[in-house]
Structure 1
Amino acid sequence: MPPERPLLERLRTGLRWTLAAVYLVAGIFHLRNTASFVRIVPDWVPWPTQTVIATGVCELLGAAALLSVRLRRLAGIMLALYAVCVYPANIKHAFDHVAIDGRRLGWAYHAPRLAFQPVLVWWALFCGGVIDWPFRGRRNDENV
């Protein structure tokens, strides 16, 4: 039996604020430590410095939009797409053993990080109200 709507909405709200905080911090890191992040940009991505700056801006805007009722759904979709788009950088970071600030992170960091990326996609979609899974198989607009 699916959880009651108030409980589901409290869960969604808590996860939404947490995800917004995660993207806020990530955006700040991307903008403050751009050179460190440029190292993990795949070679086929043009303008790596500008790309890292753009990702930081996207994270900040996504965090703010996720907290906006009017933009929440769009933010959820765009942050899910964002998580898919940056996955190649996470792969490069892991498989090329790229050092950030002189530190190489081992597989104890990279394996969970790579495995968690689909969760970030779900998290953004859930927080944006795009999906209710696994709490409901399908959204029923009459019960929203």
Structure 2
Amino acid sequence: MENLDAKTISLWIMATIYTIAGILHFVIPKFYMRIMPPWIPYHKLMVQFSGIAEIALGLGLFFPQTKVLAAWGVVFLLIAVFPANVYHFQSRTRKDPPTWALILRLPLQLLLIYWAYTFTY
């Protein structure tokens, strides 16, 4: 077991976030399908695939043997889903979070990528 320091706690928080986010892809799939750009085919299948990926990566972050690989996976996943965040902002409706939150989400993605990157070495 790793030492319970700030970096380990940060890792566990990240792992929990991605695991829960992955589960939410199956609990509320319509939310995720709604924010997908129209040029991405098979929305439901892609939501399920990304949900499975987030669950697997989240769980992978919990184990020292798979932590680095899972962290790289999170980095690539965050880059891959960035177009959905841009599309969500561009096609927002009154049902969506406030405009400021959608704008904030875009640079926040870079911080999330950096956070995951800190566990790749």
Common fold by TM > 0.5: yes
Q: 1:71 to 1:98 in 2, by over 3 A?
A: farther
CA shift at 1:10, angstroms?
A: 2.0
Alpha-carbon contact 1:39-1:98 (below 8 Å) kept: no
SS of the residue 2:5 aligns to: helix
CA shift at 1:129, angstroms?
A: 3.7
Which residue of the other structure, out of 6, 15, 30, is the alignment partner of 1:11?
6
CA shift at 1:98, angstroms?
A: 4.5
Give me the TM-score of the superposition, normalised by structure 1. 0.77
Give me the TM-score of the superposition, normalised by structure 2. 0.90
Which residue of the other structure, out of 29, 33, 41, is the alignment partner of 1:38?
33
Q: Which runs of 5+ in 1 are unaligned?
A: 1-5, 131-144
Which residue of the other structure, out of 114, 117, 122, is the alignment partner of 2:114?
122
Tell me what 1:96 maps to. Answer: 91
- Mapped to 1, the partners of 2:120 and 2:80 lie a distance apart of 21
- Mapped to 2, the partners of 1:86 and 1:53 lie a distance apart of 13
Alpha-carbon contact 1:40-1:98 (below 8 Å) kept: no
Which residue of the other structure, out of 56, 60, 63, is the alignment partner of 2:55?
60
Tell me what 2:99 maps to. Answer: 107
Question: Counterpart of 1:36 in structure 2: which amino acid?
Answer: F
Q: Which runs of 5+ in 2 are unaligned?
A: none
Q: Which has the higher helix share?
A: 2
- State the identity as a percent: 25
Alpha-carbon contact 1:23-1:60 (below 8 Å) kept: yes
Question: Counterpart of 2:116 in structure 1: which amino acid?
Answer: A
CA shift at 1:11, angstroms?
A: 2.4
